[in-house]
Structure 1
Amino acid sequence: MTEPTETPEFVDSTALALATLRCPRCHQGRLFSTSALNVTKFAQMPAQCPVCGQSFEPEPGFYFGSMYITFAFNVATFLVFGVLIYYLMGNPDTWVYVAIITGVTVLFTPLILRYSRALMLYLFGGVQYNKSWARR
């Protein structure tokens, strides 16, 4: 079940719609069915937008390409936290790097997956924002 969506004030901003994980066509419908904190269903997406009916899977296997975006996010996480650990902890043993970066990556997995899929849909889904699709 999806919650009823209200018309947000930033409906015309594609960047804010992406940041809040909204539909690329109407900027109102939610891309994911449950909260990111729901450990077993954080990747669950409805088949189509509850507001405008836009399909969230343009073709079978569409989101396999998002693994490259996920890889980029994980490399960025590794680099940022590796540098932070080095400077804040004074270059500790290797196991400290591995433990902290693994923990951070596991904690960020729901967000990384969601934003990877959203970026894939926004960049390669072939859908443009259209104000007329927003429900009033």
Structure 2
Amino acid sequence: MLNKGSKLNSILTGSCPKCHEESMYLDKNPYHIFSIFKMHDTCSHCGTHYKIEPSFFFGAMYVSYELGIAFSVAAFIISYVFFKSDLKTSFLSIGLTLLLFMPIIMRLSRNIWINIFIHFDKDWKTKI
């Protein structure tokens, strides 16, 4: 499931979507806020350009919105249904969840967005 070649591997690890050999990001830790968006320009293994066009990652905002909704629904269900908290506390848990997971949501949205357009190529070494 998380083997090289699967989209899920590239999305969760932030690795190059074409070869899965290296991280796209200069700093793998998304909680280093000042370097959260700093990426390599190209993959040092297969030469894939990560910024396909100017402002390419603006499209990741749409994915980020959907991920935010998914995290919010999960936080609400966990808080309201499982812990039986009141409505006010449940909505507070949504806000805290979004605040705590914001760096992860930002990275995941970029990873998902680039994986929509660039696909794994098992023969990338022969095409260099």
1:113 corresponds to: 106
User: Which piece of structure 1 moves more, 85-94 or 59-68?
Assistant: 85-94
3-state SS in 1 of match to 2:123? helix
3-state SS in 2 of match to 1:40? helix
Measured after TM superposition, the shift of residue 130 of structure 1 is: 2.0
User: Which piece of structure 1 moves more, 9-18 or 70-79?
Assistant: 9-18
Normalising by the residue count of structure 1, what TM-score does the alignment of the two structures yield? 0.79
Give identity over the alignment, percent.
23
**One-letter amino acid matched to 1:46:** H
Q: CA RMSD in A?
A: 2.1
Q: In the alignment, is residue 129 of structure 1 matched against residue 123 of structure 2?
A: no
Q: In the alignment, is residue 17 of structure 1 matched against residue 10 of structure 2?
A: yes
Cα-to-partner distance string for 1:99-133 (whole Å, 9 max, x where unaligned): 2211111111111111111111010x3x3322333
Measured after TM superposition, the shift of residue 91 of structure 1 is: 4.1
Aligned residues: 124
Long gaps (5+) in structure 1 = 1-8
3-state SS in 1 of match to 2:66? helix
Cα-to-partner distance string for 1:42-90 (whole Å, 9 max, x where unaligned): 2221111122221111011111111111010111111111111112332
1:65 corresponds to: 59
- Give the alignment partner of residue 22 of structure 2, picking from 12, 19, 29: 29
Q: 1:56 to 1:90 in 2, by over 3 A?
A: same
**One-letter amino acid matched to 1:73:** L
CA contact (8 A) 1:48 1:55 kept: yes
Task: Write the distance in 2 (CA, Å) between the matches of 1:14 and 1:52.
Answer: 17
**One-letter amino acid matched to 1:33:** L
CA contact (8 A) 2:76 2:91 kept: no
User: Which piece of structure 1 moves more, 84-93 or 22-31?
Assistant: 84-93
Task: Write the distance in 2 (CA, Å) between the matches of 1:105 and 1:33.
Answer: 24
Q: 1:12 to 1:75 in 2, by over 3 A?
A: closer
